[in-house]
Every structure is written in C-alpha cells, then in structure tokens.
Structure 1
Amino acid sequence: MNEFDFIATHLRPLVKAPEADGLRDDVAILPSRVRPAIVTTDTIVERVHFRAEDPLDTVAKKLIRTNVSDCLAKGAKPFAATLNIVWSRGRSEADLMTFVSGMSEDLETFQIDLLGGDTTSTLGGLVFSLTLYGECVSESGPVRRSGAQVNDDVWVTGSIGDAALGLKMLKQSTDSAESWLCNAYLVPNLPAEGVADLVNAYANASMDVSDGLIADATHLVEASEKGIELTLERVPVSEAAKSVLQQPMSAENLLKLCAGGDDYQALFTAPLAHREAVLKKALADGIALTRIGSVVNGPAELLLTFEGRRVEPPQAGWQHFMFS
C-alpha cells in the first residue's frame, strides 16, 4: 500500500473538521478559537518509549495521551492535532491497521480533530509524532511552571509509579494487580478533563508528570526559583502497587515510584488559602487529588522527607541522552 492509498483509505475516515479539507491539500486551516491556543508535541520511538512487542493500538493511545496530559496540566483542552508516521518496512499492514484503530478510538475519546501530518517509511524502528493544539480555559493563557509562590500547597492527581511498575512486570504479569499495572504502562490513565478547569481556577504553577515525580517537581523548582518540600508518605500509591510492593511502604520503595516515569498526572501548586476550594472542586469533578507538599522559604531546591527526616533520591527520573 502506498502513502496516498493509506491516507485515502485509513486516515481520511478519521478526519471530520472541514479545515482539514479531507487531507487532500498540503496545508490545513487551524480552527480559530475564542481564547488563547497552545501547542505541544511529543515523539515516541520504538525501543525507547515503547517496546517492540507492545500492541500498536496502545502505542497510538500513548502517543495521544502524552500530549493531552501536557495540555490539561496547562489549563487547556485539546481540539486538533497533526500526526507524523515513520513506518517500519518490517511491519505488516495488519499492524498498521491496529495502530489506526487505537488512534481513531482516542481521537474520539478526547474530541480531537485530525488536521493532517506526514507519512514515510524506514528500514529501522517505528517513530510516531503528534502535535496537539489546545484552547486555554482562561483568556489569560496557560498556567506556566514558573508561578509557584511560598506557602503554596503542592498537589498531584491520580497515583504515582504504576506505569514504572507495569513496565517492570510486563513479561511476568500473572495476577490482576500486575495486569492493571501493565495496562497503566501501555495506556496512561489521565486525570479527568476537568483538571484543566481546576488548574485554571487555582494553580499558580502547573505541569504534567511524565519523567517521574521527582524530576518534574525539580522542573517546577527551577522554573519558579522557589524551594519545594515533598512528603513521601503522602504520595498517592495505587492499591495495585501496594499489593505488589507490600505494605508498609518504605522510603526506598516510594523513592523508586517517584523516580519512575509515564505517570501523566498533573502536578501543580495553589495558595494555601484555596485548599478547601481545591478539594471541593476536585471532588465535584471526580478528580483524584492529593496534597503532597508545599512551596517553602529558602534555596530553590527540592527537599524530600519521609517520617520527618530528609532523604535523598537514588536518581531524578527519566532523561534523554542525545549524545552518548
């Protein structure tokens, strides 16, 4: 199947927005929005961001959700995307259809219009890239990483470390808890879309957790130039993770969970004065939310404590090494 047949047969049916002109042109019109629009992009590479044996419908969903996570954590909601596919010639057409199926499902789930993109092939591994456009909830634009203030509460949605554990267990998953963790790695469990409204209403600084809670909290510290103290025993851990790691949770286990990646939750700071309002809105919108620390006076550094004592992380989290 050549590029144009693939676009006509399998990608064109995914396109609903008139601005895309049925993927018949070299450009699309970006739909105009009332409030500021943001753009984010992620690329995922076989054997780097996903395993060669991962089902390709889950790879497509991971590609979409890594971008949606960025969007929601900025106080914005997605509306359009462009897709680039670098397809491996060693893969079958059935594999391609599996990828398209997953893409179609999540475009529908998140109400995202596919506007266009590019397709090519390689003798190497698969590479996928998605550029996502979102509309800010507020006319003032996105909530940046740089706005944290001393005495802000630090909040995180969902649970931390499930995907890292799932990746570790994929080859030996047998019981339901381990299966749930494996699925958390394959298809990220994002917070409800209402988190964008929550962030917009109360957050001073916000970002998603993708490289691990420790690494991303450090990014907030650096951008805001404020100290942050996280209490490890407050970090939300799923029942599935607890059943695998066994309770009571040790500092060592919590540090490992916080240094993992692929959580795709929202991490934000908000004024202490809004604590009850933040909790009330999260409850009303069905958002699992936990207060895990505070922004503190002192040097711009990340402090981790467990049962009242300071602990040091074994590693900060996932990093890309471009030159090695």
Structure 2
Amino acid sequence: MPTPLTHEALRGAPKVLLHDHLDGGLRPQTVIELADACGHQGLPTTDPVALGNWFRDNANSGSLVRYLEGFAHTCGVMQDEEALVRVASEAVQDLAADGVVYAEIRYAPELFTERGLSLEQAVEAVQEGFRQGREASGGKIRVGTLLCAMRQNDGWQRIADLVVRYRDAGVVGFDIAGPEAGFPPSRELSAFEYLRRENAHFTIHAAEAAGAESAWEAVQLAGAERLGHGVRLAEDIKGDEVGRLAAYVRDRRIALEMCPTSNVQTGAVASLAEHPIKRMHELGFRVTVNTDNRLMSDVTLTGEFATVVEQFGFGADDLRKFTVNAAKAAFLPHEERRALIRDVIEPGYAAL
C-alpha cells in the first residue's frame, strides 16, 4: 500500500528548490537578536512567535506596501559580515532539515551595503555562511547562489560581473528582482549579452506582477533559461489552446519557478484554486514548486508540497515530476544533475 502523503512523509522526500530569497527566509528569533546587536529600530515586537505572525499577516494583507515593510526589517539587520554569515548558515540548515537536497538561494548584494560593506564582502560573507550551514547539516544539502540586480536601479553589469567572478566559489547564476512593471529586462540587455558571452546562467523574475508580455521580453530579448514565477504566462493559454509564446516556453523546456502561496499573496493569481500550476503541469510545462520567501509567507517547501497535494490532488508521481523538473533546470553541470536525479531523487520517491 502506498505511503499516505502526510506532512511527515513529504518532509522525508528529497526536494529541489530553485526560488528562495535569502532576505525573505530569516528565523524570527534571529531578526530580533540581530536587530538588538546592530541597533536596528522599529521592530513591531520582540516576541519571536508574534514577530513571525506579523510577517505572515503583512504578506496576507493584500497590500504590497505592507508586504515590503518586512524586507525593511530583514535587510536592515543584514548589514555586516557576521550577520550575513549567520543568516546564510541558518537558511541552509533549515532547508536541509526540510528535506531539501539542492537549493539555489538568491539575494541582491547591493541591499547589504548600507553600512559600508562592499559588494564583494557581502558575497564572500554569504558564501561562508552557506559553507558553514552545509557543514552543520552533515553535507546533506548542496547550495548554489543566485545574485540579483535590482530592476529599478542602474548597474546590473556590476552584479553580472560578480556572477562571473565568483562562479568557482559557488555562485551559479544571475537574476533581476524588484518591481517588474516598468522595469523590463530590455532596460539593460547588455548585462545579459555579457553573461551569455561568459557562458553564465541566468533566470529572470517574469510574468508575476506583469503579464505574459513580461515573459516574452525575458525569453525572447534577454534569453532567460528559467522564469521566476511565470504564472501569468497562463494568459497565453485558452482552454486546450496554447498560444505561441507559451508553446515556445514549453517546447524549449524553460522552467517555471512557481511559488503557490506567494503567488496568491502578491496578487499574481486571485486564489490558490485559480493557480495555473495543475493545468500547466497537465499541458507538459516544466513546472517546479518553490517557497519564494519562507519567513514572509510562513512556508516551507514541504508545506508547499502539502498545499498543492491538498488543493489539486497531486500524488507522489506528480511531486517526483516537479522535483525532477527542478533538478533538470538547476544551474549545475549536466553530469551532476543526472547524478542528483539518479542517486537521490528517484530512490527517494520510490520509497515514498
């Protein structure tokens, strides 16, 4: 008899996470302690349970302004090397405890330079934290780093340079984050051209706050290998008729980094029941399931798997497919992706 897909059973399944923001995944207690250490003012409470609830309530408020208030606090306490090492280490340990075997964690280095850190110091501190977290987890998890440029700011090339400079130290790719509407990838196409010349990987947040046209720019102008969220690509699907852009994304096996809970909270979809993940999975898109911001959304990857199982009736074979999709889309060398699927994912789901 198959094992019931309980939360505990799902926790034990090997998982691959492609879309997780470092500054959106702190432990509430860590925010409190770092705020005290650095003199950060304005936390709504110093009770860890209440603070976690505050972040969650902001995310569920339906107000982008309130949602972003949370990042003012997390980024506010991540302004020195010691804090970055701690946050990065704890993120890896938390993901490993959740059954994640490979994760790509992203952040914007420029957000951590308000008190004098250089971009390089920020990157090196985070990489050291990831190393410590993996060691503390017994090597059960591997982590790759994605460096984000902020779409509304100039200087994407600086971050692209860092991706190339630190790729032998664990940085596996590039992204642009921040306000999607009004700041398209075409704003600094030269950064993507540079990355392609240097054989570097990149994903792009697209078709979340803006429509399917955002995915078109990301794919056709910038050459994105994956789409961060990509949920509004469903606007190019009418019933069983898949439009030309959506068909191109599907045919090229461009992965969609979907984050179901976050997609509802940010208004990318009206409700979980209306999320296109099941339909796009059935139509053959390379769908993956992700967390986005674990603190803000009060989620884990196990919890997101449980959510889509309950909402859409997915079974173990569907979850295995999502995980294999993520492994195939990971910014890892081909042989390492194959080994991850063959030696870790397939045996884990056979047991599930």
Same fold (TM over 0.5): no
Normalising by the residue count of structure 1, what TM-score does the alignment of the two structures yield?
0.25
TM-score, scaled to structure 2 = 0.24
* Higher-strand-fraction structure: 1
Radius of gyration: which is bigger?
A: 1
